[in-house]
Amino acid sequence: MKIAGIIKSSLIDYPEKASTVIFLGGCNFRCGYCHNPELLHFQDETTQDDAISASGEGINIENLLSFLRSRKRFIDAVCISGGEPTLNRELPLLIGRIKALGLAVKLDTNGSNPKMLTDLLKNGLVDYVAMDIKAPADKYEQVIRNPADLKAIKASAQLLKDAHSQEGFACEFRTTVCKELLSERDIERMLKEYPEAPPWYLQRFHNPGNILDNEGQYSAYPAEEMERLGKRLCVSVR
Ligand code: SF4
């Protein structure tokens, strides 16, 4: 297992913590608005940061851990993003080694692997989980452009909901909102499908220029429109 990319320091990826963000390759979804298309087929061949990669073929775990050790004075946490991190069977092992350094761990997930999520929660390996809810059930496959295991996604959402309400576990749901993919009615229906959810953020779509489907003509709702929507539906917008 190798790390496909890294942001050495971030103040925005883990709420109220300074973190290093690492990206694991591979994903079972193909969202057209994906900001990390180069990670979807990553097979330990590329890296976004040769500075801590001895081989130039992804960041070796030992190199990552020694980098984190050297940064411990400056960071509180590591965010594990992707791609879809839970596709990596060695994820619990990697997290265990990161936590042994005394760092908190946040996981970004699309919710497709409730079994891995159960293990991570049960073993206290994650301190924060951000899960994507992509769309209402009947539009899921249109948005992720792959077969959707809705049962798995619902099971992951339920796990987080229970951990949040019963143990105060820190987590969030988040939804990227593209005008062409989700109508106001779709968002309303989606929120109803997950009642009593943990904090939920609607993220206004933006295109950094290299999204997976640049032909998709995706666009954002105007900021005022999103604010109005957030207020009406009682969800946060960012
Ligand atoms: S789930 Fe995330 S990483 Fe995977 S394709 Fe969608 S946006 Fe990209």
Q: Tell me, in angstroms, the distance from the centre of ligand 1 to residue 70's CA.
A: 30
- Helix (H), strand (E), coil (C) string for 193-225: HCCCCCCEEEEECCCCCCCCCCCCCCCCCCHHH
pLDDT in the model for residue 1: 78
Cβ–ligand 1 contact at 108 (below 6 Å) = no
pLDDT one digit per residue (tens) for the chain, 238 residues: 779 999 999 999 999 999 999 999 999 999 999 999 999 987 654 444 434 443 446 788 999 999 999 999 999 999 999 999 999 999 999 999 999 999 999 999 999 999 999 999 999 999 999 999 999 999 999 999 999 999 999 999 999 999 999 999 999 999 999 999 999 999 999 999 999 999 999 999 999 988 999 887 899 999 999 999 999 999 999 9
pLDDT in the model for residue 57: 60
Cβ–ligand 1 contact at 205 (below 6 Å) = no
Q: Tell me, in angstroms, the distance from the centre of ligand 1 to residue 56's CA.
A: 24
Phi, psi of 131 (to 5 degrees): -110, 135
- Encode burial over 65-93: b for 16+ CB neighbours within 10 A, e otherwise: eebbeebeeebebbbbbbbbbbbbeebbe
Cβ–ligand 1 contact at 31 (below 6 Å) = yes
pLDDT in the model for residue 165: 97
pLDDT in the model for residue 217: 84
The Cβ of residue 5 has, within 10 Å, a number of other Cβ atoms equal to 23
Tell me which residue has its CA closest to atom 7 in ligand 1.
Answer: 34
Q: Is the Cβ–Cβ distance between 90 and 1 less than 8 Å?
A: yes
**CATH of the domain spanning 2-237, picked from 3.90.180.10, 3.10.350.10, 1.10.357.10, 3.20.20.70:** 3.20.20.70
CA 190, CA 139: separation in Å to the nearest integer? 10
pLDDT in the model for residue 50: 39
Q: Tell me, in angstroms, the distance from the centre of ligand 1 to residue 186's CA.
A: 20
pLDDT digits 0-9 by tens, 22-50: 999 999 999 999 999 999 987 654 444 43
Of 45, 62, 73, the closest CA to residue 98 belongs to 62
Cβ–ligand 1 contact at 111 (below 6 Å) = no
Extents of the domains making up the chain: 2-237
